Amino acid sequence: MADVALAAPRTESQSAPKRTVAIPAGLRCASPVILFLLLGFIAPLLTVVAYAFATPRSFDVFRSFTLENFATIFDSSNTVWMSFAWSLAFAFCTVVLLALVAYPIAYGLNRVFGKWSGLISVLFVFPLFVSENVRLYGWTLFFIKNGVLDGTLKTLGLAGGPEVLFTPGIILFGMVYVYLPFMLFPMTLGLAMVPRDLVDAARDLGAGRLMIWREIELPLAMPGILIGMLLTFVLAAGAVAEAKILGGQSVIMITHDIEIAFTYSQNWPLGSALAVLLMIIISGLALFVMSKLDLDRILGKR
Amino acid sequence: MTEISRRNLLQIMGAGAVAAVGPFGMAGKAFAAGRAKELNILCWEGYNSAQVLDPFRGSEKATVKAESLTNDPTMINRLRAGETNVWDLINVNNPWARKIMAPAGLIKPLPKAEFEPFFDKMLPEFKAPYKWAMSDDGKDLLGMAQRFGPYSFVVNTKKISRKTAEEQGWDLFNDPKLAGKYGILESDDWNVFNIFMVAGINPFKEHTPEEMKKFDETAQRVFKGAKMVGDIATMNQALISGEIDCHLTGGTYSVSPARADGYPEMRAVTPLKGPIDGKGGISWIEITSTVNNPNLSPLATEFLKYVQDPKVAHTVAFAEGTFNPVAQMGNKSCFDLFTKEELDAIQYDSLEEEMSRSAEYDIVPDYDKALDIMTAAKRLRG
């Protein structure tokens, strides 16, 4: 049916004048979605970019053009670079820790847990149904003085829990906890892509465990691992709740600075300029890493 | 593949634009015509609670939407950004209506004859013409008063006595021995006021470079010494657990939930003296105004009358979130609805003296500069 309907105009077009613009049928069919994406995704993004070049502390978007917001950010006396540095450093550490934590779990889900894999996967997904803030407040109650941990240890006659709340360390803990599923599941899928026969063949040919891991498992699972790393890095670089709730703002993340600019500071152009810079840094870093990793080789196309 | 002429392409693009914009345009017309049963409120938490809104929704058979935010600048910003055609009522602290929103044309005056009599039933200090409800020239009534309270700092009186806190006042936070034992509420506009107060400087005036330098030093020291910066829940939890002894920026508004939960030792304190013409504390009074909406809902003024009712005023005072005194307590039939426990939660015993020791919230002329300095000071915590 569709073929018939789409074929009909083709006959008409053959007699059309030469000065015509060709629009593929697919593009026409997709136009409502494209229009929706343009309005819902591209337009807000363009507005943010336009705001970044608007007069500071004004709403003159699309009516003014200035580089003043970027000049303010790059002013040598401005310490906002510290927030960028904290956010990127925390995101990097989160990715590294998550790679180390999630790999054995992903391996277990594929090879070890057997029929329990489904249930264990659900247990890792389950926290996602609860608001991130509620989960983080839960950890606050766990670690707070005379809270669950400290109170229980004192009841048992011990010295009490460690004073970890409201420190940078607990922020990292919170980020690893929150973003674990985002690393775990792409990694699990990646490891599922490794054919068991290949591992068996390598073992039959005398390869040791380490060699099998290095030469077969890791390269074949790399697409999933990379996607997990990229996803968690992007999410972690924009994290703010962990630093606010668990960290007691012991560190100011860049997203917190953006939030301050949009709220208390009443400076949407500066907030937009910070957001645009963050987008450039994150996408730039991601593209740089991807280019260095030679995706074609990893994905096995060569 | 289909080939179409340029003219056809333009026609398709035009049709697409109509298709995209048309529904919005038509919705706009329907929006204007259907506003008799619709009300949108931009407010601090409390006015958005079902306890307050549901009876009004029921009696008016109206769709009432309320968005709650916890700082004034963001709300004002929403109107400035063009949302005056969205909202009907805006509920913010006292100086904004008179000094910012009315001059900027963001709100419109209330019918004086209809609303001024309500002020006669309020507590004595709210009697008409009440300064913060009036325009600068005193001619227009710009909004209605309801919730208010002193807002300086909060102490655990088991750790720091009320007497010590009141006498030492803001100097408490200049004491190096308090480092690591206090928190700061993440209310950055109020923190600007309070860092000025700790520095011994009146916040509500233009500041000299020397004063700004002192503000910077104080901000760095106070933020560095804080155990944590967090929201009201974090502050109350930390006070109760013993993590901190006191916290900067706080009052009946923030501590009343803890007091109502059975921790009367947590207490809002207003210093005996301070740098604002001798006054040691700062207080806030909410003013609710009608937005300069071209299609203002007729329910906006009805809602303002509805919340003057003694029972509704009592519900507003004890709506979910925080508990606060209300101006309508001047009306005996409203006051009688408050139980002893409720009066204790809002520290009614010292309310009058604390309000008299407090200067009213005002605009800081160089707020932008001070906030930038304070934000930079916060970054040095890490």
Span B55-79, pLDDT tens digits: 999 999 999 999 999 899 999 999 9
Establish if B212 touches chain A: CB-CB under 8 angstroms: no
Closest CA to B223 of A79, A89, A169: A79
Residue B300 lies in a domain: yes
Per residue in B141-184, pLDDT tens?
Answer: 999 999 999 999 999 999 999 999 999 999 999 999 999 999 99
The pLDDT of residue A291: 79
In chain B, the residue whose alpha carbon lies closest to the alpha carbon of A241 is B230
Q: Is B131 found in the same domain as B52?
A: yes
Residue B24: is its pLDDT beyond 50? no
DSSP letter (8 states) at residue A108: I
For B10, the domain range is 1-29
Q: Is B177 found in the same domain as B123?
A: no
Read off the pTM.
Answer: 0.87
Q: Is B40 found in the same domain as B25?
A: no
Task: Enter the ipTM.
Answer: 0.85
Q: Is B223 found in the same domain as B165?
A: yes
Q: How many CB atoms lie within 10 A of CB B265?
A: 15
Q: How far apart are alpha carbons A65 and A59 in whole angstroms?
A: 12
Q: Is B193 found in the same domain as B92?
A: no
Q: Residue B26 — φ and ψ, nearest 5°?
A: -65, -35
CB B280 within 8 A of CB B357: yes
Residue B4: is its pLDDT beyond 50? no
Establish if B336 touches chain A: CB-CB under 8 angstroms: no
Average pLDDT of chain B is 92
Q: How many CA atoms lie within 13 A of A229 on its CB side?
A: 21
Which pairing describes strands B144-156 and B107-108: parallel, antiparallel, or unpaired? unpaired
User: How distant, in Å, are the alpha carbons of A76, A250, B224, B239, B301 from that of B379?
Assistant: 15, 8, 9, 24, 44
Residue B216: is its pLDDT beyond 50? yes
Three-state secondary structure readout of B137-190: CCCCECCEEEEEEEEEEEEECCCCCHHHHHHHHHHHHHCHHHCCCEEEECCHHH
Q: Is B273 found in the same domain as B154?
A: yes
Residue B355 lies in a domain: no
Name the residue facing B368 among A20, A244, A265 (closest C-beta). A265
Q: Is B12 found in the same domain as B43?
A: no
Per-residue pLDDT of chain A (302 residues; tens, 9 = 90+): 344 444 444 444 445 555 667 888 888 899 999 999 888 989 999 999 999 999 999 999 999 999 999 999 999 999 999 999 999 999 999 999 999 999 999 999 999 998 999 999 999 999 999 999 999 999 999 999 999 999 999 999 999 899 999 999 999 999 999 999 999 999 999 999 899 999 999 999 999 999 999 999 999 998 899 989 999 999 999 999 999 999 999 999 999 999 999 999 989 999 999 999 999 999 998 888 777 766 665 555 54
Residue B2: is its pLDDT beyond 90? no
CATH 1.10.3720.10 fits A79-298, yes or no: yes
Residue B339 lies in a domain: no
* Cβ pair B227:A268 closer than 8 A: no
Is residue B117 reached through a cis peptide bond, with omega within 30 degrees of 0 on the bond before it? no
* Cβ pair A248:B228 closer than 8 A: yes
Buried b / exposed e along A196-230 (16+ C-beta atoms within 10 A): eeebeebeeeebeeeebbeebbbbbbbbbbbbbbb
User: Is the model more confident about A80 or about B31?
Assistant: A80
Residues of A in Cβ contact (< 8 Å) with B44: none
The pLDDT of residue A299: 59
Q: Is B39 found in the same domain as B23?
A: no
- Which H/E stretch holds residue B90? strand B89-93
Residues of A in Cβ contact (< 8 Å) with B233: 137
CB A273 within 8 A of CB A69: yes
Name the residue facing A16 among B3, B80, B82 (closest C-beta). B3
Residue B266 forms beta bridges with which residues? B156
Q: Is B226 found in the same domain as B140?
A: no
* Cβ pair B230:A248 closer than 8 A: yes
Look up residue B13 and give its two tokens: 């693009």
Q: How far apart are alpha carbons A268 and A276 in whole angstroms?
A: 12
Closest CA to A31 of B2, B121, B364: B2
Q: How many CB atoms lie within 10 A of CB B154?
A: 31
Q: How far apart are alpha carbons B42 and B291 in whole angstroms?
A: 10
Among A61-65, B246-250, B305-309, the range scoring the smallest mean pLDDT is A61-65
Q: Is B262 found in the same domain as B372?
A: yes
Q: Is B46 found in the same domain as B153?
A: no
* Cβ pair B3:A13 closer than 8 A: yes
Residues of B in Cβ contact (< 8 Å) with A13: 1-4
Coil, helix or strand for B85?
helix
Q: Is B141 found in the same domain as B160?
A: no
Name the residue facing A21 among B9, B226, B381 (closest C-beta). B9
* Cβ pair A23:B81 closer than 8 A: no
* Cβ pair A144:B237 closer than 8 A: yes
Closest CA to A61 of A261, A295, A268: A268
Q: Residue B74 — φ and ψ, nearest 5°?
A: -65, -40
The pLDDT of residue A4: 42
Residue B334 lies in a domain: no
Which pairing describes strands A20-23 and B2-5: parallel, antiparallel, or unpaired? antiparallel
Residues of B in Cβ contact (< 8 Å) with A248: 183, 226-230, 234
Work out how many domains chain B is built from and give that number: 3
Q: How far apart are alpha carbons B98 and B102 in whole angstroms?
A: 6
- Which H/E stretch holds residue B42? strand B38-43
Indicate the burial class of A300 (C-beta count within 10 angstroms; 0-12, 13-18, 19 or more): exposed
CATH code where residue B191 lies: 3.40.190.10
Q: What is the mean pLDDT of residues B248-253?
A: 96
